[in-house]
Structure 1
């Protein structure tokens, strides 16, 4: 936890926050705080700054909060990700969030097992938990927006053209593709399929929306590895 995320519900006064949940137990275990010590904090979807320890018990910690900095800049990216298996989804959500993605579409694909869409990992509270962990890791405060799209064709035909309009539209595909372009701050829409890639029909539908197929070499990576590799290549992170 490189940043202690605060919520509006933590505040007892304008600049005083009381924490008593898992964040408190983490602070006590790893920071071993003392009165007067400053901790790095940030308000969810707000600014970052410092929290001075002004109260400490076995059940809670009280911080005097001063927020003076803006969170890290977001990546200029909309990410379309074929829904990974649940265990990988949790890790991938944390990675995506820590790298600055703010718009994520979890989409269907022929190779996505139907059972994945019924996993508890997709419930709002569980999604939020993984996103918060990613924010804490990166020292960010702005929660990503996650959109679920269970039908590939209607999404690509009805929504995607507007989403990708006036962006660098790319689909990561291990076959019949050009090398991944270099880093740029250009607004980008990136589609990443399941392991082994989208099926040809899906690639063709994406290409019909203006997407260019790109690859990152001969090796086919797991989704949780492909995501950070692609983002590191496409953006000056």
Structure 2
């Protein structure tokens, strides 16, 4: 936790914040090893960052005297990530990683090789998704939560939603065997589509290419989804 991320209800007024949930309190004690008088980085969800001085820390709450919150969060990546729904444990890590890297728009997509049982996972509950997004923000010292949408049917997504998403974005389909290597250092609005473990089936590749996505690859190695996502975002942006 490189940032104490505050919700609106944590702010008692412009100069005082209180933290009461066990996770953040435990992190303050066991990881930061914070003591009264320490200055730490604070940020408000959806707002700015700054510094605060710890004035109280006990088993039930931590209180901060807020100095100023006048720093902007890091800029977001200009990308909408469309990710075939990974298995639950990988989903948790992937959400944290892409949030830390600055992705602000995420669509989780059903494809043929996505197990239907994955959609019943507790990891897809709104509170669990929010938890992983917050961990990513705390890691990166960011305050702006990504928007996460679920697309549980492939064909309606490609036919009804994808054309609109591609109107003002460059579409890239990351899939082994594509002709062109992943570009480097682009700065234009982009929609990046990444498949599941085992990749997309040929029908899905054809439909995504027909919709306007351009196929790219990361070389001859087959990577786990969480590794591929990080590698692609780092290389592209």
TM tier, shorter chain?
over 0.9
Report the counterpart of residue 10 of structure 1 in structure 2: 10
Q: Work out which of the residue numbers 130, 140, 143 in structure 2 matches 1:141.
A: 143
Equivalences for residues 46-125 of structure 1 within 5 A? 46-65=47-66, 66-125=68-127
Query: Take 2:36 and 2:94, find their aligned partners in 1: how far apart are those partners?
Result: 37
Give 1:73 deviation, angstroms.
0.3
Report the counterpart of residue 31 of structure 1 in structure 2: 32
Deviations 1:170-203 (A, max 9, x none): 0001023311111111111000001232111111
Query: Take 1:94 and 1:115, find their aligned partners in 2: how far apart are those partners?
Result: 22
Structure 2: 5+ residue runs without aligned partners?
none
State the TM-score, normalized to the length of structure 2: 0.96
Q: For 2:185, what is the secondary structure of its paired residue?
A: coil
CA, structure 1 residues 2+165, in 2 after alignment: closer, same or farther (shift >3 Å)? Answer: same
Query: Take 1:145 and 1:55, find their aligned partners in 2: how far apart are those partners?
Result: 34
Aligned positions, number: 235
State the TM-score, normalized to the length of structure 1: 0.96
Larger CA deviation: 177-186 vs 127-136: 177-186
Give 1:53 deviation, angstroms.
1.4
Structure 1: 5+ residue runs without aligned partners?
none
Query: Take 1:160 and 1:59, find their aligned partners in 2: how far apart are those partners?
Result: 47
Q: For 1:213, what is the secondary structure of its paired residue?
A: strand
Give 1:147 deviation, angstroms.
0.1
Q: For 1:31, what is the secondary structure of its paired residue?
A: coil
Q: Does residue 1:168 correspond to 2:170, yes or no?
A: yes
Moved over 3 A (4+): none
Q: For 1:116, what is the secondary structure of its paired residue?
A: helix
Q: For 1:74, what is the secondary structure of its paired residue?
A: coil
Q: Check the 8 A contact 1:195/1:220 in 2, yes or no.
A: no
Larger CA deviation: 163-172 vs 145-154: 163-172
Query: Take 2:153 and 2:186, find their aligned partners in 1: how far apart are those partners?
Result: 31
Report the counterpart of residue 222 of structure 2 in structure 1: 220
Q: For 2:31, what is the secondary structure of its paired residue?
A: helix
Query: Take 2:9 and 2:192, find their aligned partners in 1: how far apart are those partners?
Result: 36
